[in-house]
Chain A
Amino acid sequence: MIRGTRWTTLLAAGILAAGIAIPNMAQTQAQTRLATVYAITHAKIFTLAGAPIDDGTIIFRDGKIAAVGAKAEIPADAQVIDATGLQAYPGLFDSLSQMGLSEVAAVSSTVDSTETGDFNPDVVAAEAVHPASEHIPVTRAAGITHALAVPGSGGFDSGRDSGVITGQASAIHLAGWTMEEMLISKSVAMGLDWPTIETRTFDLSTFSRKDKPYAEAKKEYEKKLDELADWLERARHYAQALEKGSAARFDRDVKLEALVPVVHGELPVLVFASRARDIRNAVEFCEKQKLRMVLAGGDEAARVKDLLKARGIPVILGPVQNAPAREDDPYDQPMAQPAELSAAGVKIAFASFDNSFARRLGQQAAVAVAYGLPYDEALKAVTLYPAQIFGLDRELGTLEPGKLANLIVTNGDPLELTTELRFLFIKGQLTSLENKHTRLYDKYRNRPKP
């Protein structure tokens, strides 16, 4: 976004940032208790690794699940939480978000979601995630215990200029005083905003529509793809040089270095693409380049479901409560698409692509159920599947011994709108559900009558 009044914006935001945007650290004290041993008893446990346990116990120690079952023995040093009448689930995973990268979307000085330039493989989300962001406690109060912070995932300021390679996505716990405490994995995917052939664009500098001939738009598109292929080619050469131990013979290149795991197929590319044609092009490109592809967005993914299934490409879906991708699509196309993809055998996960709307994650999954997605699949699409997609399923995604104790205890279905969250654990720590919104609510509902 180009602004005419950048100076005043900066100045105003600078003043505000001092007082508002950076929360007082004292406020977040008492947010967590020291890690200890917990036993949650008499809960209905949805492990997502088998049938639910009607009256079960979960034991966790030092942040990891030690035992789950109908007859788990309670250690003497455990803090016991009687969850009679309550239900336990793995914590929800928002698998594509701007968490910690953006505070107030319209105030550019509070937004770090999108770097300038087209090729930024070396930038890493975790380096900029703000542990004291007010969005983090607000989001976890919705049962979301961990998230993927993704560069180039949007933000008011990104506009069309999110580049091609947007940077490395980081998996983070939604609690912690520093990034070291929050970090699950610094790099789980490389963002790739798939270039599109756009003959009609909106020019913000003149606030008007711009048309260009198809041939010109296509040329621009092809140029970007050539550049992308060139980056990958150079990364391959760089990788070969590294393997042969000859790196000392030339300058270290941090951008190419960051692309090495991508060209080796170790780090997936998280490809943002919407239209069927773009998705097809991206799939073809990734196959040719031998990249591991995860599709993000995918407004029209169901149109290419067979291709996605055949290539084993999973899809991270954005909010489903949206207008149809095309005006002559059925009115419920976005809501019904998850069911269609799932039925075709495509692995899906839901994500917010946002920060302030992240707490609608469960709602999106529930709506997909209303339009045909099996309930179990919906639940897994916000827990286990995203963990599998990003290679984190050894630590997260189900309630099984050895996994991180990121879990929630609710009074009902965690996807339903009116369900209340009772307890939330991150890395085995009982974590406060208090947040900016509960604090303001308490303050103003106690305001004396004027």
Chain B
Amino acid sequence: MSCFVNRTLKRTKTQPAMPLANRSAARTLLAAGLLFFSACAVHAAPPDAAPVILIRNATLLTVSHGTIEHGSVLIRDGKIAAVGQKIEAPAGAQVIDATGQFLMPGIIDCHSHIAIEGGVNEGSVSVSSIADVAEVIDPDDMDIYYDLAGGVTSSNILHGSANAIGGQTILIKLRWGQPADRLPFEGALPGIKFALGENPKRSNFSFPGAPKRYPATRMGVEEVIRAAFTEARDYKKKLDDYNRRLKAGEKDLIAPRTDLRLEPLVEVLEGKRYVHAHSYRADEIVMLLRVAREFGFKVRTFQHVLEGYKVADEIAASGASASTFSDWWGYKMEAYDAIPYNAALMTHRGVLVSINSDSGQEAAHLNQEAAKTMKYGGLSEEEALKLITLNPAIQLGVEKRVGSIDPGKDADLVLFNHHPLSAYAVAQMTFIDGRIYFDRQRDIAGRATLQKEKDALIEKEKKVAAAKEKSAEKKPEEKKSDEKPKPSSAGSAKGGAQ
């Protein structure tokens, strides 16, 4: 693309499923080789056995019970074993002196599209509940590491917003270096993405030459959801009938034909799957609450929900929660009334609110984005911190496991060199399950080794190329591999389902 950082940002905002052409361009053989080595050298997975760690003399931002100055946290078996001012290091424990530093719970991003490169949107149909992002988890996506380096420990990986009813979603922990099957957050309820407004009705883009897909209006979006749940309700009735008759001992029954598209919707009706509904305008938020009441399901989170502040009472009364941006606005019509006071106003009106990223880059500074709610709407420090820790944990049903610094919880923590609600804070260490998955000093120390490996690889590559050139001099018009450019910054644009 071109040199404009924001141009790429803009593009991702309204274009679900844009294949990341430049990313794949980057994956020349050489680059792939380097990546492989860098992954081994610096970002190797921690050992399987969780060590006993004492983080000592930090300012503990517990989120659940205030701030503890000169506090310590003892980690054992991947869990927080003790929190307080006077904790002795057990024999053999690894002691981390965190004097002058700030320890907070690992950041939880309630809206992310990292680690599923190329798998964000199944945009061909308006109900794509058959698709599941869990099937395309890519543990080598660099965004996992970038976000870890910003203190993120869990991410809610959502399908894109191309469809009124989108694909199935999954909560992961950012266990960088582990295989794909080790990433899912154990025991967390799965979700499904819904999307209202401009994206599912495809206002901002179209596929030239392709037939128009229903719906094209907000009226149609509502009807797609109603129609799907009407089907799901009938399907559930068939299943329930069958199971009841089976239980009653009836013989020679034929089970209803499995419907993979409707199964996730039945789970929604049964409260076994969360609905995460991409939404912008106030009217469409209230519309979905109406539909949910009609069919007897709950909306777990409204995502983006940029006009949530206009109908905060309605959201609070329904029991739904809200996951929004800090200060994004004006990039499309339905974001024109977005205000940075959204999170604070909804919080004050009793809505459970989180701040999310929807982007691999934005996720790396969610602490800063949360801080803005103190300026825009006057949230307290603790309220601001909750927006990226305990609140999203509650929204995702994992608050017993993560979201605050309390004994018994998973040792998912991040250590900052300054107060994390400052733009000057830099994450130093990120722990998941009591293991250090990111260590800034180790990252910096490893860079020289990486450079050496890289130089050696390039040297080798050049030799191979020179040898090839010698042996095939009759084809002089052949391009040289080292002249092949990698297109510019557009490759860094991620997310793409706002």
In the complex, what's the smallest C-beta–C-beta distance from A439 to chain B, in angstroms? 9
Q: Are B426 and A370 in contact (CB under 8 A)?
A: yes
Measured CB to CB, the nearest residue on chain A to B338 is A437
Interface residue A5 (Cβ < 8 Å from any Cβ of B): yes
B2 sits at the interface (CB 8 A): yes
Task: Give chain A residues whose Cβ lies under 8 Å from the Cβ of B447.
Answer: 330
List chain B residues, Cβ under 8 A from A447.
310, 313
Contact assessment for B145 and A356 in the assembled complex, using a CB-CB cutoff below 8 Å:
no
User: Which A391-450 residues sit within 8 Å CB-CB of chain B?
Assistant: 415-420, 436-437, 440-441, 444-445, 447, 449-450
Contact A323–B361 (Cβ < 8 Å): yes
Known: A12-B203, A330-B447. 20 other contacts (CB 8 A): A4-B207, A104-B330, A104-B335, A106-B14, A156-B11, A201-B487, A206-B209, A214-B479, A214-B483, A272-B3, A274-B2, A330-B443, A331-B443, A367-B423, A369-B424, A370-B425, A417-B375, A441-B341, A441-B345, A447-B310
Q: Chain B: how many interface residues by the 8 Å CB criterion?
A: 91
Find the residue from B26, B38, B341 having the highest chain A CB count within 10 A: B341
Q: List residues of B (291-334) whose CB comes within 8 Å of A's CBs.
A: 309-310, 312-314, 327-333
**B residues less than 8 Å from A106 (CB atoms):** 10, 13-14, 198, 203-204, 331-333
Residues of A within 8 A of B336 (CB): 20, 104, 134
A155 touches B7 (CB 8 A): yes
Contacts of B365 in A (CB 8 A): 321, 367
Chain B positions within 8 Å of A16 at CB level:
333
Q: Is A202 an interface residue (CB 8 A)?
A: yes
| A198 interface residue per 8 A CB criterion | yes
- Closest-CB distance, B299 to chain A (whole angstroms): 18
Q: Beyond A214-B484, A322-B361, A437-B340, is A366–B330 a contact (Cβ under 8 Å)?
A: no
Is A47 an interface residue, CB under 8 A from the partner? no
- Of the candidates B10, B19, B332, B426, the one whose C-beta lies within 8 Å of that of A209 is B19
By the criterion CB–CB under 8 Å, are A418 and B375 in contact?
Answer: yes
Interface size of A in residues (CB-CB distance below 8 Å): 95
Q: Can you list 30 pairs linking A and B with CB atoms under 8 Å apart?
A: A12-B203, A104-B331, A106-B198, A154-B10, A156-B331, A158-B4, A196-B2, A197-B485, A198-B485, A200-B22, A200-B487, A202-B1, A206-B208, A209-B19, A272-B4, A274-B2, A274-B489, A323-B494, A324-B492, A328-B31, A328-B450, A330-B447, A353-B6, A357-B328, A370-B424, A370-B426, A417-B371, A418-B371, A440-B341, A441-B309
For B479, the chain A residues whose CB sits under 8 A away are 213-215
A187 interfacial contact with B, CB 8 Å: no
A219 lies within 8 A of chain B by Cβ: no
Q: Is B465 an interface residue (CB 8 A)?
A: no
Flag if B485 contacts A277 (CB, 8 Å). Answer: yes
**Quick one: which of B1, B4, B360, B477 contacts A353, CB cutoff 8 A?**
B4
* A215 / chain B contacts, CB cutoff of 8 Å: 477, 479
A60 an interface residue at 8 Å Cβ cutoff? Answer: no
Instruction: Tell me whether A323 and B492 are in contact (CB under 8 A).
Output: yes
Residues of B within 8 A of A377 (CB): none
Chain B residues within an 8 Å CB radius of A275: 485-486, 488
* Chain B residues whose CB sits within 8 angstroms of the CB of A199 once the complex forms: 25, 484-485
A274 CB contacts on chain B under 8 angstroms:
2-3, 488-489
**Would you call A323 and B146 a contact (CB within 8 A)?**
yes
Question: Does B360 contact A318, Cβ atoms closer than 8 Å?
Answer: no
Scan residues 215-232 of chain A and give those whose CB is less than 8 A from a CB of chain B. Answer: 215
Shortest distance in angstroms between B385's beta carbon and chain A's nearest beta carbon? 13
Asked if A237 is at the interface of the complex by the 8 Å CB criterion, the answer is no
Report how far A353 CA is from B362 CA in the complex, Å.
Answer: 17
**A4 neighbours in B (Cβ, 8 Å):** 206-209
| B1-37 interface bits toward A, Cβ cutoff 8 Å, 1 = contact, 0 = none | 1111111011101100011011011100001001100
The answer, yes or no, to whether B239 is at the interface (CB within 8 Å) is no
The reply to whether A193 and B2 contact each other, CB–CB distance below 8 Å, is yes
Does any Cβ of A come within 8 Å of B364's Cβ? yes
Any A CB within 8 A of the CB of B87: no
Judged by a CB distance under 8 angstroms, whether A90 is at the interface is no
Q: With A331-B145, A354-B6, A441-B341 known to touch, is A200 a contact of B477 (CB < 8 Å)? A: no
Task: Give the CA-CA distance A298 to B4 in the complex, in Å.
Answer: 9
Q: How far is the CB of A449 from chain B (nearest CB, A)?
A: 6
CB contacts (< 8 Å) of A416 on chain B: these are 422-424
